[in-house]
């Protein structure tokens, strides 16, 4: 698959799925094998638990994670003891998780392992930085469930999005749901100059005037919007929301007389918790939605089989998604 060459342009990668059972582990195994073949030093961890033999929800068989000689990995103490490979311990984190301390190890002889890593994106960032200092060329984070926060450009430089029949066995609905997330990933990025001004803001809603200067509106969260609605456009039509953004804010903006001039900026697409209907209405009315930093999407992969037994035609599904999105979609097992 040609996207493996693109992955090598980055230092960190997340693999996230639109739903559980969209083929993240199959994709991870394919990438790990290819990286091993071309000699890229690699480290891997997970934000949940990955590599189980049996799905905990559907009781169906799942692919196990295969690690190769020279690779580094992070997993919990409990799961490190269950590994089926030869490895040496590099570091044991003093912080504890529900499954014990986090163990960093290097594979000496290839085999299989369960990965259960950090519970927060903050710890993940620290781990990726540590791998970078150890001269690891690529750090990979395998996602859990449909947690898209891993795909934030503040965590990893690039992402792979996994979709498939588990999202919907109906091809039209699958295309529609995948396209919506794809559109959010591809939102327009603001200028580097404005990004620099917003980079230190961690919370609240802020106004940006015509000169590009940033002003605190005194609204601590979008959930407290009702207390400061009259302040929202005090400095102009451009607004920056530093935290999570839901339908509520877009509905409010869509109802404003200046909606055709409204420009809403968020940190990145993972901060958006929107329904397609509300988003489409906001855009149709003329509202603009932009991000401080766009995530680098290197590939979209498809798992044509759902855990309930539905199977899509892989060729047709990849073609339909590719035509709709305007980019290649890959089934790594095809």
Q: What is the pLDDT at residue 123?
A: 87
Whether residue 212 is found in the same domain as residue 199: yes
CB-based contacts of 169, cutoff 8 Å, min separation 6 = 306, 308, 310, 312
Could you please report the per-residue DSSP string of 263-315?
EEEES-GGGEE--HHHHHHHHHTT-EEEESS--EEEEEEEE-B-TTS-B--HH
| Residue whose tokens read 């044509």 | 304
| Angle at the Cα of 311 from the Cα atoms of 167 and 17, rounded to 5 degrees | 30
**Phi, psi torsion values for 89, nearest 5 degrees:** -80, 130
Identify whether 330 is part of a domain: no
Phi-psi region at 21: left, alpha or beta (left = phi > 0; alpha = psi -120 to 50): left
Q: Does 180 lie in the same domain as 138?
A: yes
**Of the segments 15-19, 242-246, 254-258, 279-283, which one has the largest average pLDDT value?**
279-283
Task: Look at residue 50 and give its three-state secondary structure.
Answer: strand
Whether 106 and 203 map to the same domain: the answer is: no
Domain for residue 215, yes or no? yes
Residue 49's pLDDT is what? 65
Q: For a pLDDT cut of 70, what percent of the chain falls above it?
A: 92
| Mean pLDDT across 256-270 | 94
User: pLDDT by residue (tens digit) across 202-256?
Assistant: 999 999 999 999 999 988 877 667 665 678 899 999 999 998 999 999 999 999 9
Mean pLDDT of 131-147: 83
For residue 73, count other CB atoms closer than 10 A to its CB. 25
The span from the CA of 229 to the CA of 218, in Å, is: 11
Is the pLDDT reported for residue 311 higher than 90?
yes
To the nearest whole number, what is the mean pLDDT of the chain? 90
The answer on 196 and 259 residing in a single domain is yes
**pLDDT tens per residue, range 161-171:** 999 999 999 99
Same-domain check for residues 169 and 309: yes
Nearest residue to 83 (alpha-carbon basis) of 115, 59, 56? 115
Q: What is the pLDDT of residue 154?
A: 86
My answer on whether 42 and 68 are in the same domain is yes
User: pTM of the entire structure?
Assistant: 0.90
Q: Give the per-residue pLDDT at 51.
A: 46
User: Average pLDDT, stretch 308-332?
Assistant: 95
Give the pLDDT band of residue 30 (cuts 50, 70, 90). Answer: very high
Q: What residues make up the domain containing 211?
A: 189-291
Q: What is the count of structural domains for the chain?
A: 2
List, in order, residues 6 or more apart from 59 with CB less than 8 Å away: none
Both 276 and 158 in a single domain?
A: no
Q: What is the mean pLDDT of residues 86-109?
A: 91
- 102 and 235, same domain (yes or no): no
Q: Is residue 143 part of a domain?
A: yes
User: Are both 140 and 26 inside the same structural domain?
Assistant: yes
């Amino acid at each position: 698959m040609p996207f493996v060459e693109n992955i090598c342009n980055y230092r960190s990668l997340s693999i996230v799925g639109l739903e559980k059972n969209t083929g993240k582990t199959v994709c991870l195994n394919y990438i790990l094998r290819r990286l091993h073949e071309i000699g890229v030093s690699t480290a891997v961890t997970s934000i949940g638990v990955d590599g189980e033999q049996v799905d905990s929800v559907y009781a169906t068989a799942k692919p196990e994670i295969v690690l190769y000689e020279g690779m580094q990995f992070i997993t919990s103490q409990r799961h490190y003891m269950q590994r089926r490979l030869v490895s040496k311990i590099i570091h044991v984190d003093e912080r504890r998780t529900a499954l014990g301390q986090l163990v960093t190890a290097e594979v000496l002889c290839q085999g299989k392992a369960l990965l259960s890593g950090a519970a927060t994106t903050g710890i993940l960032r620290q781990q990726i930085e540590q791998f970078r200092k150890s001269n690891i060329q690529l750090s990979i984070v395998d996602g859990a469930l449909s947690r898209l926060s891993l795909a934030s450009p503040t965590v990893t430089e690039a992402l792979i999005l996994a979709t498939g029949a588990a999202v919907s066995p109906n091809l039209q609905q699958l295309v529609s749901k995948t396209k919506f997330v794809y559109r959010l990933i591809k939102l327009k990025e603001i200028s580097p100059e404005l990004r620099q001004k917003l980079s230190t803001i961690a919370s609240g809603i802020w106004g940006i005037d015509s000169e590009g200067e940033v002003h605190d509106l005194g609204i601590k969260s979008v959930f407290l919007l009702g207390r400061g609605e009259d302040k929202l456009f005090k400095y102009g039509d451009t607004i920056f929301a530093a935290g999570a953004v839901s339908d509520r804010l877009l509905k409010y903006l869509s109802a404003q007389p200046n909606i055709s001039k409204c420009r809403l900026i968020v940190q990145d697409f993972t901060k958006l918790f929107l329904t397609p209907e509300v988003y489409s209405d906001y855009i149709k009315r003329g509202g603009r939605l932009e991000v401080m930093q766009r995530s680098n999407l290197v590939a979209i992969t498809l798992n044509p089989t759902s855990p309930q037994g539905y199977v899509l035609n892989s060729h047709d599904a990849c073609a339909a998604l590719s035509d709709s999105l305007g980019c290649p979609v890959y089934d790594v097992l095809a």
